[in-house]
């Protein structure tokens, strides 16, 4: 799809921007002419993402850092800000997830997800503010429907992402006076992503997921990118503090729409197909 946005001369920093949804968002901004900086833990993923982003013809740089380490995050944002002459758009989407019942999550497992998703978002936004090109800069956090729809096997993620949405709203209030808008995109089930590989690893689970989406199919990374391009653009100049679901209507009913909780989905017994073969 042709990108109807022009981000030439703009700088975009994507925390967690080396795979999946966030890399898709980074590509969309690079295609629209922006300079890109991405950050994630793996140097290998950072190098691959930077090389791929450069194929659009613009500048791209990357940082191997963990969002749980504030000093490393600060150093990366300082360097990107200096290299690009400030940052116009910040996308914050580093996250971790695994499905497990509350009693199967160790204190360190719960802490790991909260540290990455919630504290990591705080570290990234806090470190970015000094380098944002105010007024006019925009922040988009990548949240999830777990922030406002309770989901079995996702207590840690629900708690962490609910906090992320509050960070979005409070930052929008505090930074509005500086001309910085802060919004969030809440993706539904997005195909070909690590998140979906973890939450819907089999064909029968994938079908149960799409059955619970009013539009009847998975979303794409491009769907999320389009929302980010709009929210960060002057077309959304009076929009701040919103959590925008881009989920095919999934959050209207969640898994309840298909009459099944995630717990049931993940523990569903194998279904015999009509030819008698067990899936």
Point out which residues bind ligand COA (CB under 6 A). Answer: 95-98, 100, 104-106, 108-109, 112-113, 194-195, 198
Q: Which two tokens stand for residue 171?
A: 């930052």
Q: Which does 244 bind (CB under 5 to 8 A by kind): ligand COA, ligand NAP, none?
A: none
**Preceding peptide of 135 cis, ω within 30°:** yes
- Residue 193's Cβ-side half-sphere holds a number of Cα atoms within 13 Å equal to 25
- Using CB under 6 A as the binding rule, whether residue 227 contacts ligand NAP is answered as no
Q: What are phi and psi of 231, to 5 degrees?
A: -60, -30
Beta bridge partners of residue 139, listed in sequence order? 90, 182
Segment interacting with ligand NAP (CB under 6 A) among 34-42, 127-135, 202-210, 225-233 = 34-42
Q: Which two tokens stand for residue 116?
A: 């990455």
- Using CB under 6 A as the binding rule, whether residue 68 contacts ligand NAP is answered as yes
- Using CB under 6 A as the binding rule, whether residue 22 contacts ligand NAP is answered as yes
Residue 35 C-beta: closest distance to ligand COA, Å? 26
Please tell me what DSSP assigns to residue 128: H
- Using CB under 6 A as the binding rule, whether residue 18 contacts ligand NAP is answered as yes
Residue 189 C-beta: closest distance to ligand NAP, Å? 5
Closest-CA residue to 185 (of 247, 238, 142): 142
Residue 250 C-beta: closest distance to ligand COA, Å? 15
State the residue for tokens 């540290």: 115
For ligand NAP, the closer of residues 201 and 270 by Cβ is 201
Please tell me what DSSP assigns to residue 38: E
State the residue for tokens 């959590």: 243
Binding-site ranges for ligand NAP (CB under 6 A): 16, 18-22, 40-42, 45, 66-68, 93-96, 116, 120, 142, 144, 187, 189-190, 193-196
């Amino acid at each position: 799809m042709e990108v109807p946005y022009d981000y030439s001369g703009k700088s975009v920093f994507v925390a967690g921007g080396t795979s999946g949804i966030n890399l898709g968002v980074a590509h969309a901004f690079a295609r629209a002419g922006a300079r890109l900086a991405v950050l994630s833990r793996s140097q290998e993923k950072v190098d691959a993402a930077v090389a791929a982003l450069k194929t659009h013809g613009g500048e791209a740089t990357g940082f191997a850092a963990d969002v749980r380490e504030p000093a490393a995050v600060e150093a990366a944002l300082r360097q990107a800000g200096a290299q690009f002459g400030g940052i116009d758009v910040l996308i914050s989407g580093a996250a971790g997830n695994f499905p497990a019942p509350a009693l199967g999550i160790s204190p360190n497992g719960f802490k790991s997800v909260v540290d990455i998703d919630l504290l990591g978002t705080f570290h990234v936004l806090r470190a970015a503010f000094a380098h944002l090109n105010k007024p006019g800069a925009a922040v988009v956090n990548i949240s999830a429907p777990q922030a406002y729809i309770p989901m079995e096997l996702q207590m840690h993620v629900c708690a962490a992402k609910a906090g992320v949405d509050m960070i979005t709203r409070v930052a929008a209030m505090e930074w509005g006076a500086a001309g910085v808008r802060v919004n969030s995109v809440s993706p539904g089930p997005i195909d070909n992503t690590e998140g979906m590989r973890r939450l819907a690893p089999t064909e029968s689970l994938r079908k149960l997921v799409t059955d619970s989406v009013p539009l009847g199919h998975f979303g794409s990374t491009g769907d999320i990118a389009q929302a980010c391009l709009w929210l960060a653009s002057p077309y959304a100049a009076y929009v701040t503090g919103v959590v925008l679901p881009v989920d095919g209507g999934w959050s209207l009913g969640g898994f309840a729409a298909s009459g099944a909780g995630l717990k049931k989905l993940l523990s569903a017994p194998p279904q015999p197909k009509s030819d008698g073969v067990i899936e």
